[in-house]
Amino acid sequence: MSLKKLSIVPLEIIDERIIHQLILKLEEIFKITADQISWDAISKHEKSDFKSRLKYRSTELVNYFSQNIPEEINGILFITISDLYSPVFARYYGEAQLNGNVGIISTFYLNENLSEESQDSVIFLSRLKKEAVHEVGHLLGLTHCMDSNCVMNLSGKPSDIDIKSSSLCKKCSEVLRNTTATV
């Protein structure tokens, strides 16, 4: 998929400075344009249509928007503070379509093992950026990488996120370069 513009859609109120940092990171890594838009700008649905109790049914939300993405939008990355639900995973940080146009990330578990006063810390922001880059990587066709330092490495717990880089390894960079060069 060729992703030239990505729209970030917070599902709850999220600090504008955090969104701004995500936009800068995604633009830097993927050489795309990113902006923030509101839920109301893209959907006639209520957010609760995709929420069950305190969890977003991420697969349902991703599938719906992949089939009904507004014409003027190239890609969407939803961000939520709520937990995510998927029939496949009991607990995870995000979901995105491989070579698709819709993904979602959650901050719900990214605060794990951080003290309350450090939840807006450098560590939390680093985790969030890495997960955003990881999910956008999937949108661009990248799969999970075996290199434990690569941002595309699968993270099972927050310490896995902390260990890996916020960048792509050489192999994933090459795959991305070859994929986008043929589009």
Residue 120 confidence (pLDDT)? 53
CB-based burial, 71-92: b 16+ in 10 Å, e otherwise: eebbbbbbbbebbbbbeeeeeb
If one counts the domains in the chain, the total is 1
State the DSSP code for 54: T
How far apart are the two ends of the chain, measured CA to CA in Å? 8
In a domain, 164, yes or no: no
pTM: 0.92
How would residue 183 be classed by pLDDT, with cut points 50, 70 and 90? very low
In a domain, 174, yes or no: no
Structure tokens at 131: 């997960």
In a domain, 146, yes or no: no
Structure tokens at 180: 């986008």
Tokens 């890594």 appear where?
29
Residue 14 confidence (pLDDT)? 92
Kindly state the average pLDDT of the residues 81-104: 90
Could you confirm whether 135 is annotated as catalytic?
Answer: yes
**Best CA proximity match to 80, nearest among 33, 35, 48:** 48
What is the extent of the structural domain holding 85? Answer: 5-141
φ, ψ for residue 55, nearest 5 deg: -120, 140
Residue 108 confidence (pLDDT)? 93
27, 116, 117, 135: which is the annotated catalytic residue? 135
In a domain, 99, yes or no: yes
In a domain, 177, yes or no: no
- DSSP-derived 3-state class of residue 27: helix
In a domain, 41, yes or no: yes
Kindly state the average pLDDT of the residues 92-117: 88
CATH number of the structural domain spanning residue 27: 3.40.390.10
- 178 CB-contact burial (10 Å; exposed 0-12 / middle 13-18 / buried 19+): exposed
